Chains A and B, each alone.
Chain A
Amino acid sequence: MFEIFGIPSMALFGQLLIGLINGSFYALLSLGLAVIFGMLNIINFSHGAQYMMGAFAAYLLLKFTGLGYWPALIVAPLLVGLFGVVIERTMLRYLYKLDHLYGLLLTFGLALIIEGVARKNLGSAGLPYVLPDSLQGGHNLGFMFLPNYRAWVIVASLVVCFGTWFAIERTRLGAYLRAATENPTLVRAFGINVPVMITLTYGFGVALAAFAGVMAAPIYNVSPQMGSDLIIVVFAVVVIGGMGSILGAIITGFGLGVVEGLTKVFFPEASNTVIFVVMAIVLLVRPAGLFGRRA
């Protein structure tokens, strides 16, 4: 077996795969952010809190209604998405005409409130959520042990990411949506209800965050601060990919997962920082991000 910088190549393949799996979480989360920013021009700082709500919704559904992992994967995003719709209708829609900063501040405030309420009612140490029986166990790939759940994460994430990209870039509905972002008045003149479409888009973006939250519940600690730990990284991913670029968010999400994974092997102490180093370099070289269009 050959070695790369003193690490056996087999071990390295394992780490690459792990990086790809973690990248699929980044991709899912940054996808929602990119959709919301691209279509609504809102920097949704409560995305992390909504991701956390998804995980908590899964926990509460199991505890009080007995709904397991699979139904929760549908029901929790619907519930949290509905919450997003209410937020959009009652607060966010008054901010579209103002500077980005107002949306950022509002959603940041909301994130703090949501986290505070969760901590007050459910504590800060976290809550248990076990792996569904159907995804227990794993396979030995020769170079690493791949748990079934991780394989499922990567498949589900790819399907959802590709589906969202396809819906927005390649369907008629997506075309309306993009047109409404460019020129709402004109699209309205064609008899399309733009405000409802915008509301549903926000709801969808929030539901994506909640979906990632349910996916995370069996393997990450379900605690009120789980979102705030992750959201900063995800913002960096979106900035690197280019604000509002959907394909950019997906590709950068997976790519940075791999970069982070490799850092964990060669220099673990820096694994929390490496993404921000990449961000700084990208901002210097291409301020609009790797896939962004200059405004």
Chain B
Amino acid sequence: MKKSLGLAALAAVLVCGTASAQDIKVKIGVLTDMSSLYADVGGPGSVAAAKLAIADFTKDHPNVKVEMVSADHQNKPDIGSQIANKWIDVEHVDAIVDVPNSGVALAMSQLAKQKNKVFIGSGPASSDLTGAKCNANTVHWTYDTWMLANGTGKALVKTGGDTWFFLTSDYAFGHALERDTAAVVEKAGGKVLGKVRHPLNTNDFSSFLLQAQSSKAKIIGLANAGGDTINAIKQGAEFGIVKGGQKFAGLLVFASDVNALGLKTAQGLVLTSTWYWDMTDANRAWTKRWQAERNAPGKFPTMVQAGVYSGVLHYLKAVTALKSAADGAAVVAEMKKLPTDDPLFGKGSIRIDGRKMHPAYLLEVKSPEESKYPGDFYKLRATIPAAEAFRPLKDGGCSLANG
């Protein structure tokens, strides 16, 4: 008896639920690194950014009911796929966002295509997501390896850094970054003198630094990320790399890495980014809200976290226009049709291959004397317009570009 009463109640709820047909239901899953090396780049900060986007959007569109879940992929593609499968099959998640770590992101992109859902990558770097491995269910939002290589590589060769030695992280991401940068350097008339491929999470770089030192290359290109980049630069200072006239090029450096190095060690480092918290009033205002949401007054958001906010906002716009989140490919098509516009990345668009187009900024880390307040990390050296910042459509080899 009790059971049938319960069923009746459930049926009543369902009927009521469908009765208000105006409501659009969406569920978003933030899949990120919560506990390891990218947890400060994405992690809880990405979850906070997604929450802010949902709050901002539903304020103006009360008929859109957005739910959000989040999980830790532990930087393992198999674990990420397991979570995503469960999210999509059991919990009816419509879109997966963030996903730092190119390995996990490539798996997510395939999964989104298989199940016809949406994947919005803010965290991953590999330009293959919009190149050879592109598909109609994926949008690559914030940055990619081609853009990093092009921004930093070109700028350094132009200012005289025409001989390079690479310290490369020995996996897909590092190889892609090294390949893209070497191409840019050689095209601009520079020369690659040598390279070392080191295992991921190497503690001590002194041996590699000695090899880089004896190569006499003007620029030591760091095709790695996170702790590896920090260790290399920190120990480079110790070995007098910069004093000896050589220069580091951090190909992927986040604000959180600069903070970990300290300005004294990091000063003068040139890097490329698509977003910096202290660049506009809108960014600063958003940073304050993010710090409150994240409950971390001393932390500063990275471009990945800002990208999550911007990506979720645009996704919700497309879903609202279609009045349904069910067909992933249709939603992505709508996202590409609608121009993007938000307080953090300004006006932009999404290209047919899934590449979100916005300007990139060439930044230089300030010296401790130039830095006036916490988080005052960079000075702007150049703005690279969107059309030049990202790989030309025809060079990517994406099958969507032909059709």
Which residues of A line the B interface, CB within 8 A?
11, 14-15, 18-19, 21-22, 116, 119, 123-131, 137-138, 144-145, 147, 149-150, 218-223, 225-226, 229-230, 261, 264-265, 268-269, 271-273
Segment at the interface with A among B17-25, B31-39, B384-392: B31-39
B153-179 residues with Cβ-Cβ distance < 8 A to A are: 170
Residues in A whose Cβ lies below 8 Å from that of B235: 219-220
Would A269 and B257 be within 8 Å (CB), given that A124-B35, A124-B39, A138-B240 are in contact?
A: no
Contact A268 B197 (CB under 8 A): yes
How far is it, in angstroms, between the C-alpha of A116 and the C-alpha of B39 when the chains are bound?
12
> Is the pair B210, A14 in contact by a Cβ cutoff of 8 Å?
yes
B204 neighbours in A (Cβ, 8 Å): 18, 22, 220
Contact B197 A269 (CB under 8 A): yes
Q: Which residues of B contact A (CB under 8 A)?
A: 35-41, 43, 170, 196-199, 201-204, 206-208, 210-211, 213-214, 226-227, 230-231, 234-235, 237-240, 244, 254, 256-257, 259-262, 264-265, 299
Residues B208 and A264 in contact, CB atoms below 8 Å apart = yes
Check B203 against A128 for contact (C-beta < 8 Å).
Answer: no
Q: What residues of B have a CB within 8 angstroms of the CB of A14 in the complex?
A: 210
Q: Once the chains are docked, how many angstroms separate the CA of A227 from the CA of B324? A: 48
In this complex, which of A119, A124, A273 has the most chain B Cβ atoms within 10 angstroms of its Cβ?
Answer: A124
- A225–B265 CB distance below 8 A: no
**Within the complex, which residue of B43, B198, B203, B214 is in contact with A124, where a contact is CB–CB below 8 Å?**
B43
Q: Which residue of A lies closest to B231 (CB)?
A: A221
Q: Are B207 and A126 in contact (CB under 8 A)?
A: no
Partner of A125, one of B170, B210, B257: B257
Shortest beta-carbon distance, A253 to chain B, in Å?
14
Given contacts A22-B206, A125-B256, A221-B230, contact A145 B35 (CB under 8 A): no
In the complex, which of the residues B36, B39, B43, B210 contacts A11, with contact meaning CB atoms closer than 8 Å?
Answer: B210
> What are 6 A-B interface contacts by the 8 Å CB criterion?
A125-B40, A128-B260, A138-B238, A147-B239, A264-B198, A271-B199
In the complex, the answer to whether B240 meets A147 with C-beta atoms within 8 Å is: yes
B299 contacts A229, C-beta separation under 8 Å: no
A150 touches B36 (CB 8 A): no
Whole-angstrom distance between the alpha carbons of A145 and B238 in the complex? 10
Q: What 8 pairs across the A-B complex have the smallest Cβ distances?
A: A128-B262, A126-B260, A125-B256, A125-B40, A264-B207, A124-B39, A272-B199, A221-B230
